[in-house]
Structure 1
Amino acid sequence: MDFRFQSASPASWADVAADALVVVVTSQTQRKLEGALATLLKEAVAQGDFEFKAGRTLYMHRAAGVKAVRLVWVAAADESPKAARAAFAAAFGALKQGGTRHVAVAAAWEAGWQPAQAEALAAAAAEAAYVYRHTKPSAPKPAAWTKITVLGEKAEAKGVQEGLTRGAAISAGVTFARELANRPGNHCTPTVLAEEARALAEEYGLKVEVLDRKAVEKLGMGAFLAVARGSEEPLRFIVLRYDGAPRSKAPIVLVGKGITFDTGGISIKPAAEMDEMKFDMGGAASVLGTFRAIAELKPKLNLVGLIPACENMPDGKAVKPGDVVTSLSGQTIEILNTDAEGRLILCDALTYAERFKPAAVIDIATLTGACVIALGHHRSGLFSPDDELAAALQASGDKALDPCWRMPLDEEYDEALKSNFADVANVGGRAAGSVTAAMFLRKFTGKYRWAHLDIAGSAWKGGPAKGATGRPVPLLTHYLLDTAAAPSRA
């Protein structure tokens, strides 16, 4: 998608040649309009066809005095990036079914365009255009727009282009993550996930290494191997590297849970909604999406991605409740519930991360239903014993409109993970399930700064709008860009 800026005053917006003109207004800023547009808006409000209520749109075809064939009015609650994105989404929704290829976007805001608003525009355009077609050729064709032009004052050009560039890269990463997560389990196996990582590395000049079962056995990743044991699909351990800074610069490591399908294993899940367990590799998808965004934006930092990928299936060889396995760290784990498998593959990956002497490690996982109960589907769960790292991630999430919320890690929660037969149990009781899961992971992160993002409630949507969201690619990308700009943060 081509995003660009065009210098144009409000007086000339009506004369811009485009397939569609979108004009964003609030009740306070309508006075900025001039000429034909001012007249059209005044008449629409007077006749009750348009109100200054957030998200309200009005479509006009071949409006008098407007060069663009289509004119869409959209009301924003205010001038914040969040309100702007909601308004842009509504406007693109009004255009989605037509043949619009070039959309010009103007905003009658008092403060003019800000980079964050331009980024929100790119995100809204990409989200509205996305249609899953990989296994559904009969799906509606994607929206036709391929070119988005922001109309603004000349002094706003640099900031707007900056926001558009960042937004376009992050949106490409989000779309990539959504596409991978949306594919059914038989179309996105661990092998396919590794192939996608290789293709990404080849396209953007990244380094990639894919370890098979034999290599994982040699390393001693007993917890990861235990989960993969019940599946006919071979496991893959994917290692990606982006080197944007000198080798002396410690990397940030992203660890993504890559369970490409989760039946729960011997502790099998209920049949209802089990199809949604194809989304259990949402953490892995977000790591790959973030790498795509970072590879396009090229910040000066070093980044490592670790993705343990396998299926969790019931089989004669599958791990059983009560089995004890030895992790890469040497700690033994009593597996009380085979459906708590994500933390088992992650713990070995977190130990593997030590070899990179990282500045920080962030794991991303659709880990617990308990996090959905605690936070719903709006905010991801954030766990970290490091106040500075947690604050940085939360601030990046707010900036990216991809919010998270910090959860506790008090030592008292450790009591639930005690075992009579191993160093640690893989689950506690029902109480504070998302916290005890994070406490389990914490046992494997003592040698570096660490944070855990539980995205079980934010990685996908259920119901009629079922599908992956691509989160938390925006949060992670903003964190990495901010870290590159202020290296001391990492």
Structure 2
Amino acid sequence: MDFKIQTAELDSLAGVGADALIVILGGEAVPKGLDAAVAKQVQAAIKLGDFALKAGQALTLTQAEGIKAPRLVLAASGKTTLVAARSALAAGLAQIKSRGAASAAVAFVGFEAGAESLAEQTALAGADAVYLYRHTKPSAPAAPKLAKLALLVGKSEQKAAKAGLARGEAIASGIELARECANRPANYATPTYLGQVVQGLGKTHGLKVEVLDRKAVEKLGMGSFLAVAQGSDEPLRFIVARYEGAAKTVAPVVLVGKGITFDTGGISLKPGAEMDEMKFDMGGAASVIGTLRAVAELRPKLNLVMIVAACENMPSGHAVKPGDVVTSMSGQTIEILNTDAEGRLILCDALTYAERFKPAVVVDVATLTGACVIALGGVRSGMYASDDELAASLTAAGDAALDPCWRMPLDDDYAEGLKSNFADVANIAGRAGGSITAAKFLQRFASKYRWGHLDIAGTAWKGGAAKGATGRPVGLLTHFVLSHAK
């Protein structure tokens, strides 16, 4: 979609030329200063009972008197927050995306948020409205005609709006890439495919990319990663990409993604129901790849390293067994009590590998535990951090991006269940606090730097009729990475 910023004061919206004029109304009263012709249409629709200034209300008027655009779309938010504005915009776009409108102009009236945040969310909502997966579905409906979206702002807001729009477009492109990677079936989105995607980004954006095969991983001593991969005929890949936007002396931000391209559970086999959704178990990898793309497009003055450990978790005669003990890259031995707790086994070696970059901070991202879904549902990602400042930074990034997280505890007592009679650590504890004990396992391998962990098992995809990847937490991660720009 083609996005742009267009100058238009709120009292002159009626003269805007577009196939559709979308007016997003904040609060529970007609905002002051609104164009007289538009206000007249709003008041008339309210009087007729066709529209109300409540969240979820949207109405399309055609050939409205005094309005240049052939379609006037009214969308109410009920509240004046950024979250409410984004939701109302989505409702407004839904009114026209399957119709004949090829261009639309959007005006926000009566909101607390500034032009920069509104512009970012306009780009994200617009991209989401027209996204349609079709790679393996030739019968998918035609793409929406809506191809141009302009945000209407006053002259004094131009600079801020342009900055927000640029960031929003970059994040939207990263989200789209993450969704495309995760939505592809596992026989398409293999570890090899993920490596090729990152290599493509490297060529496009001038990134340094390495894609390591089994032999190279064996040489590094990643016994834990290798154990998970050994049950599959599909080759593993360990993917490293570097964006260098600052001096080499500047410590990088490192993002680590879990790339289990299909998770059967291994010998600890999962139930068959909804196992198809385990193609989304590489949502962490997809999100850090998408973030890499967003950052590379924005070209901030910082250094970023992206690491993805990618393989399948399959049952076979070669698969790792419950009770097996493996040696991680760190030298710590791990008793594998459950082969379905495999994400932490590939991440621990990736976290050890991250030490070589002498990072400013490392954040790993993983669809790690069903326990996190039970705790937080699909609204917030679970967040763990080694210090309060990092936790605050991740929380602020999520809030700014409307991609929220929630800090979870890391008390040492939670690690008691990970003790083993046969190895330095077991890969699981009991059922209680499962997301926390998984994080405590990872923390053992991240002691040499500032470390954060995002458990996105509840937020990386949706099931049911809306089944598909969400692209989260690309927004959160991009805002977090950008906060380190000099």
TM-score bin, normalised by smaller chain: over 0.9
Separation in 1, partners of 2:432, 2:41? 58
1:29, distance to aligned residue in structure 2 (A): 4.1
Which stretch shifts more, 359-368 or 384-393? Answer: 384-393
Separation in 1, partners of 2:64, 2:11? 16
1:239, distance to aligned residue in structure 2 (A): 0.3
**1:431-470 paired onto structure 2 within 5 Å:** 431-470=432-471
Alignment of 1:480 with 2:461, yes or no, is: no
**1:233-272 paired onto structure 2 within 5 Å:** 233-272=234-273
Checking the alignment, whether the CA contact within 8 Å between 2:54 and 2:77 is kept in structure 1 is yes
Task: Go from structure 1 to structure 2 and tell me whether the alpha carbon gap of 1:306 and 1:107 turns closer, same or farther (over 3 Å shift).
Answer: same
Checking the alignment, whether the CA contact within 8 Å between 2:82 and 2:111 is kept in structure 1 is no
Aligned to 1:370: 371
**1:49-448 paired onto structure 2 within 5 Å:** 49-109=50-110, 113-448=114-449
1:34, distance to aligned residue in structure 2 (A): 2.8
1:408, distance to aligned residue in structure 2 (A): 0.8
Identity across the alignment (%): 63
Which stretch shifts more, 307-316 or 59-68? Answer: 59-68
> How big is each residue's C-alpha offset from its partner over 1:205-244, in whole Å with a ceiling of 9 and x where there is no partner?
1110000000001111000000000001000000010001
The alignment covers a number of residue pairs equal to 485
One-letter identity of the residue aligned with 2:348 = C
Checking the alignment, whether the CA contact within 8 Å between 2:29 and 2:53 is kept in structure 1 is no
Separation in 2, partners of 1:34, 1:162? 26
Task: Go from structure 1 to structure 2 and tell me whether the alpha carbon gap of 1:153 and 1:284 turns closer, same or farther (over 3 Å shift).
Answer: same
1:442, distance to aligned residue in structure 2 (A): 0.6
1:249, distance to aligned residue in structure 2 (A): 0.3
Checking the alignment, whether the CA contact within 8 Å between 1:383 and 1:451 is kept in structure 2 is yes
Which stretch shifts more, 466-475 or 111-120? Answer: 111-120
Separation in 1, partners of 2:119, 2:82? 8
Which stretch shifts more, 37-46 or 431-440? Answer: 37-46
Checking the alignment, whether the CA contact within 8 Å between 1:84 and 1:121 is kept in structure 2 is no
Which stretch shifts more, 105-114 or 339-348? Answer: 105-114
Unaligned ranges ≥5, structure 2: none
Checking the alignment, whether the CA contact within 8 Å between 2:115 and 2:153 is kept in structure 1 is no
Checking the alignment, whether the CA contact within 8 Å between 2:182 and 2:283 is kept in structure 1 is yes
> How big is each residue's C-alpha offset from its partner over 1:367-392, in whole Å with a ceiling of 9 and x where there is no partner?
00011111111010011221111111
RMSD: 1.2
SS at match of 2:145: coil
Separation in 1, partners of 2:434, 2:39? 56
1:65, distance to aligned residue in structure 2 (A): 2.0
What's the TM-score, normalizing by structure 1?
Answer: 0.97
One-letter identity of the residue aligned with 2:19 = D
Which stretch shifts more, 5-14 or 29-38? Answer: 29-38
Checking the alignment, whether the CA contact within 8 Å between 2:245 and 2:302 is kept in structure 1 is yes
Task: Go from structure 1 to structure 2 and tell me whether the alpha carbon gap of 1:29 and 1:22 turns closer, same or farther (over 3 Å shift).
Answer: same
One-letter identity of the residue aligned with 2:440 = M
One-letter identity of the residue aligned with 2:10 = P
Aligned to 1:19: 19
Checking the alignment, whether the CA contact within 8 Å between 1:112 and 1:156 is kept in structure 2 is no
1:481, distance to aligned residue in structure 2 (A): 1.0
Checking the alignment, whether the CA contact within 8 Å between 1:282 and 1:459 is kept in structure 2 is yes
Checking the alignment, whether the CA contact within 8 Å between 1:107 and 1:113 is kept in structure 2 is no
1:126, distance to aligned residue in structure 2 (A): 0.8
Separation in 2, partners of 1:360, 1:182? 29
Which 4+ residue blocks in structure 1 deviate beyond 4 angstroms?
A: 110-113
> How big is each residue's C-alpha offset from its partner over 1:396-430, in whole Å with a ceiling of 9 and x where there is no partner?
11111111111111111111001111110000111
One-letter identity of the residue aligned with 2:59 = L
Checking the alignment, whether the CA contact within 8 Å between 2:14 and 2:35 is kept in structure 1 is no
Separation in 2, partners of 1:7, 1:17? 12
What's the TM-score, normalizing by structure 2?
Answer: 0.98
One-letter identity of the residue aligned with 1:23 = V
One-letter identity of the residue aligned with 2:402 = L
